[in-house]
Structure 1
Amino acid sequence: MSTSGQKRIESTIDTAIDCDEDEVMELAMQAGELLLENGAEIFRVEETMDRICRHYGVESASQFILMNYILATAGEGHGHVFAKVRHIPVNGSHLDKVAAVNQLSREIAEGKYTVSEAYQALETIRRMPDKRKSVLILASGVASGAFCCLFGGNLMDCLAAAIAGFLIYVYILYISGPHLSKIVGNVGGGAFVTLVCNLLYMLGLGDHLNFMIIGSMMPLVPGVAFTVAIRDAADGDYISGTVRMIDALLVFICIAIGVGMGMAVLKLLTGGADL
C-alpha cells in the first residue's frame, strides 16, 4: 500500500472515532432505508446498518427491522440517546441499488469513506436511474416468450406470448402502476393478458392457449418478493417473511381472479362457445 493510501485510511479511522453519533445513526438509517425500499432481505439491512455503526465507533447501536419499518437506537441511557422510527414505502425490487449499498457498506468498513463522503455516495446511489421503459417492455416480451417455451409452447405460441408480454408491461407502466391499486391492477392485468391471448388465438397466432396465457402472465408474478419472503423466514425473520409471503400470495390470487374474469367475459361475448 502506498504511503498516501495508508495515511488516508488512518485519517478515516481517526475521523470514525471522533464523528458525531447522530450523524452515524442517520447515515445507517438512510442506508437501511435505501435497502429496504428496494426489496432487500431483513438480514442484509441489519448487517449493513451494524457494519456502518461499528466502523464509526457507535457500539451501542441497535436496530429492529420489519418489512417497511426501521427502528434504530443508540446510547447507554446516560445522557444523549438516539432513537428514531421510520416508515419505508416499498417501491418494488431494484437489485442494482441493493448491490450498490451493500458494496458501499463494505468499503466503509475498509476505511475508504468519511461520514460526509458516505452520505454523498448514498445520494448518488439513490439517484441511480431506473431502467428505460423501452428496455423493460422489451424484456417483458422476451421473458414471456421464453417462459411459454419453457412450459411447452411451440414457436407460434412463444410469438403470441411475446406480443402479450410487450402489451402487459405497457399496461403495468402506464395504467396499473400510476393509476390503480395493487389489487385492482393485478386483477386487471390477469384479465388483460387473458383477453389479448384469446384474441391472438382467434386470429390464428398460436396453437396452445394455456401455454400462451401462462407465459405472458409471468411479468406480473412477484418472483423476487416470494424468494425474499422465503429467505427472511429461513433467517428467522418470521414476521417480515410471513407478511411478504402473504403479499406475494395475494398477487397470485389476484392474477388468477383476473384470468377467470377474462375467460368469463369472453365466454359471455362468444355465447358460451369454447375457444
Structure 2
Amino acid sequence: MNDEKLLKLAVDSGEIILKSGGEIQRVEDTMSRIMATASTNSEHEAIVFPTAIFATLNGKNGQITKVKRIYQGRTDLKRLDAINTMSRNFVSGKISLDEALKCVEDIKNMPEVNPYIFSISISMTCLFFSLMIQGSFKDIISSGIIGLALGMFMIILSKNNVSYFISRFISGMIISILAIILHKINMCNTYENVITACIMPILSGITITTSLRDILNGDFVSGISRAIEGTLVAVAIACGVMIVLKIFAGI
C-alpha cells in the first residue's frame, strides 16, 4: 500500500470532518484508523486543532509527515455521514485505497444545498420557533416571511465570502429591520417575539455543543476556542439587533 496516498486519504478525510463540524476526537479517531491499515508494525500519530491538522505515518517506506491548514467551514451533516461511511468501508476492506481517494474527492465536490430549499427551511424554522414562544398568528406569519428573506441574504453573503462573524452581524440587523417594518405596517403584533424567533437559526448551538464535547474529551484547546467562537457569534448577532433597535425602534 502506498503510504503517501494513505496519509493523503487520512488528512483529507480529517479535513472534511473538521470543516463539517465534527469534534476533534472524531477527526483524530478516523485518521488513526485509516493510517493503521498501512501495516501491522506501522507507527502513526494524528494531532488536530480547529485550524490545523498534523499527521505522521512511519511505514515501510520511512516516516512521512503532512501538515494542513484548515480554514472556516460550516456544519454539513451530509458530508459527515458520507466521509464516515467511506472510512468504515475502507478500514473494513470493502473498498481499495484508490476507490477511497475517489470517494473523498466526490465528497469534496458535493453540490451545496439548493438555495430555495435552504431559504424555505430557514423560513419554516423561524415560523415554528415563533409558534413555540406563543407568538400571535401575525407574528408567526411575519417570522416565516423574515426567515425566507434571511435565507436569501445568507446565501448572498456566503457567495461573496463575507466573514462568518460579519455575516451574523448583518443577519441580526436584517432581521431587526424587517421585523420593525412589518410591525409598522401592522403585519406583526410584537416585533420582539419575531426577532427572537428569527435569530434562532443563526445561533451557534452546534458549535457550543461540539465545544463541550471536546472539553469533556480532554481537547481543551479546541473546546475553548470553539466556545469563544460560539460566544462571539452570539455577540455579533446581539450587536446587529441592538444597533437597529436603538436607531429605529423608537420611530
TM-score band (shorter)? Answer: over 0.9
2:56 is aligned with 1:73:
yes
Give per-residue Cα distances to partners, 1:50-93, cap 9 Å, x unaligned: 111112327301010001210001228x9731112110112211
Say what the alpha-carbon RMSD is for the aligned residues: 1.8
SS in 1 for 2:131: helix
Gaps of 5+ in 1: 1-18, 271-275
TM-score (norm 1): 0.86
Aligned to 1:63: 46
Q: Which of these residues, 82, 86, 90, is aligned with residue 108 of structure 1?
A: 90
Deviation at 1:230, TM superposition (A): 1.4
Aligned to 1:51: 33
Q: Which amino acid aligns with 2:224?
A: T
Aligned to 1:188: 170
Deviation at 1:261, TM superposition (A): 0.4
Q: Is the radius of gyration larger for structure 1 or structure 2?
A: 1
SS in 2 for 1:146: helix
Deviation at 1:167, TM superposition (A): 1.0
SS in 1 for 2:110: coil
Q: Which amino acid aligns with 2:142?
A: A
Q: Which amino acid aligns with 1:219?
A: P
2:106 is aligned with 1:124:
yes
SS in 1 for 2:94: coil
Confirm or deny: 8 A CA contact 2:47 2:54 kept in the other structure: yes
Q: Which amino acid aligns with 2:174?
A: F
Aligned to 1:20: 2
Q: Which of these residues, 2, 6, 12, is aligned with residue 30 of structure 1?
A: 12
Q: Take 2:146 and 2:83, find their aligned partners in 1: how far apart are those partners? A: 35
2:242 is aligned with 1:260:
yes
Once the two structures are aligned, what percentage of the paired residues are identical?
25
Q: Take 1:69 and 1:238, find their aligned partners in 2: how far apart are those partners? A: 15
TM-score (norm 2): 0.94
Q: Which amino acid aligns with 1:195?
A: I
Q: Take 2:145 and 2:229, find their aligned partners in 1: how far apart are those partners? A: 28
Q: Which amino acid aligns with 2:19?
A: E
Confirm or deny: 8 A CA contact 1:38 1:90 kept in the other structure: no
2:70 is aligned with 1:88:
yes
2:166 is aligned with 1:205:
no
Deviation at 1:33, TM superposition (A): 1.1
Q: Take 1:93 and 1:23, find their aligned partners in 2: how far apart are those partners? A: 27
Give per-residue Cα distances to partners, 1:166-186, cap 9 Å, x unaligned: 111211111365153233322
Aligned to 2:125: 143
Confirm or deny: 8 A CA contact 1:140 1:166 kept in the other structure: yes
Q: Take 2:76 and 2:61, find their aligned partners in 1: how far apart are those partners? A: 40
Q: Take 2:164 and 2:35, find their aligned partners in 1: how far apart are those partners? A: 36
Deviation at 1:115, TM superposition (A): 0.9
Aligned to 1:227: 209
Give per-residue Cα distances to partners, 1:98-126, cap 9 Å, x unaligned: 11111111111211111111111111211
Q: Which amino acid aligns with 2:51?
A: N
Q: Which amino acid aligns with 1:56?
A: A
SS in 2 for 1:156: helix
SS in 1 for 2:43: coil
Deviation at 1:219, TM superposition (A): 2.4
Confirm or deny: 8 A CA contact 2:211 2:222 kept in the other structure: yes
Q: Take 1:175 and 1:110, find their aligned partners in 2: how far apart are those partners? A: 41
Q: Take 1:69 and 1:106, find their aligned partners in 2: how far apart are those partners? A: 23
SS in 2 for 1:248: helix
Aligned residues: 250
